[in-house]
Amino acid sequence: MKKSRKIKFSNVAALVLTIAAVLLLVYIASGLVPTEIDDTVETESTTAATTEATTEPTTEATTTTTEATTEATTQAEEPAEPTVEEQALEILSGMSLKEQVYQLFIVRPEQITGSSEKITEAGSDFEEGLSEYPVGGIAMFSENIIDREQTIEMISDMQSYSTLGLFIAVDEEGGTVSRIGNNSAMGTTSFPSMKTIGNTGDIDEAYNVGYTIGTEILELGFNLDFAPVADVDSNPDNTVIGNRAFSTVADVAAEMVAAAVRGFEDSGILCTLKHFPGHGDTGTDSHLGYTELDKSLEELWETEFVPFASGIEAGADLVMVGHISVPQVTGDDTPASLSATMISILRDDLGFDGLIITDSMQMEAITDRYTSAEAAVMAIQAGVDIILMPDNLENAANGIIEAVENGEISEERIAESVLKILEVKIEAGIL
């Protein structure tokens, strides 16, 4: 009996293992029994993803913020570049009244040394003279210009003695008035008269005159040209302008003048419109005595002012005012260079905000009627910025200083012109 109820152990064990395996598969499939390996892998993946998501943006944002902060701090620490006006004001604040007044003059080199002979070099006597008379500029003439090497050396030496930089000026119009172009030793371009240029009707020719002259004299050390002529040659009896003007027709002259101004400006040289209000219809020469322009203001606008307005719009740096009386406009025979009425017209009506310079004060239209001091004071009172070659430099300067001290001219009036002069020098790289 016992033998028939006995079950083999091996068969039972196999059955139990089979059932256990099936149950395990069911549990695993249902996710109720996660494996240790799965849990570990999932934990590591989650941690890595979390770390990457948290660390990368934070690090990048922190770096960007740090860089921006550093840049902003650096910019805040570095002072802004001072403007031209600020630089000029800083220089002006350290100038004495005498230094300011002498900045208002451009003179011949001989007026610095006191020499009766024309000088062709600037040595210790020039250095000493410039220390005593710290003028704003020097005008050189044919007698001062021998050849390229000598001219370059003389200009370089003169500049080395000046603490505020010098305007180094020349009359280089082309044609007959060419201190450099008519000297074969200078190796520069010689141009025909401006009337010849104007007769071509080609404004590119006028531009080329300005650009070529400007480029060539800049190489020598000059920085200011008393050109172009903006007069209209409207009077055949006129002895002082003639073929120096571009045309007998105002509109033609205006186009040529504007083109020449653009040429000068592109060359890097400062240029000057001359001779305001217009010397082309005068019957006499202001070099030799009293000169009158017998026209009304309306007539001046129709002819004489046309090239000046065009040149001003083109960007001329200076306007030279002639010793020309315009009684129909001013009501008296005061030369335009000393007339507040004429200077006001130039400033307010023609809109010129650059430097106003007189023609040479050694002309007899001035010396026959005024002392150097009287003429200088009148010019400054009228609104002029620069006085060209007074007959006696020291007397002219002292006249202005005395006028300031006795209240005829305010210190502010002097500072106004000196500030403009300094600004032009800074912008032109002279100072």
| Residues catalogued as catalytic | 287, 359
Report the first-to-last Cα separation within the chain, whole angstroms.
Answer: 135
> What amino acid occupies position 79?
P
Give the Cβ contact number of residue 151 at 10 Å. Answer: 24
Pairing mode, strands 172-174 and 177-178: antiparallel
What's the CA gap between 60 and 58, in Å, rounded? 6
What's the CA gap between 300 and 307, in Å, rounded? 11
Residue 143, CA distances (Å) to 39, 110, 146, 169 in order: 104, 11, 7, 14
What's the CA gap between 336 and 329, in Å, rounded? 10
What's the CA gap between 248 and 370, in Å, rounded? 33
Residue 46 structure tokens: 């989650």
Residue 419 structure tokens: 């500030």
Pick from 305, 312, 257, 270: which is nearest to 423 by CA? 270
What's the CA gap between 362 and 392, in Å, rounded? 9
What's the CA gap between 389 and 98, in Å, rounded? 17
How much is the CA Rg of the chain, to the nearest whole Å? 41
Residue 161 structure tokens: 């003695």
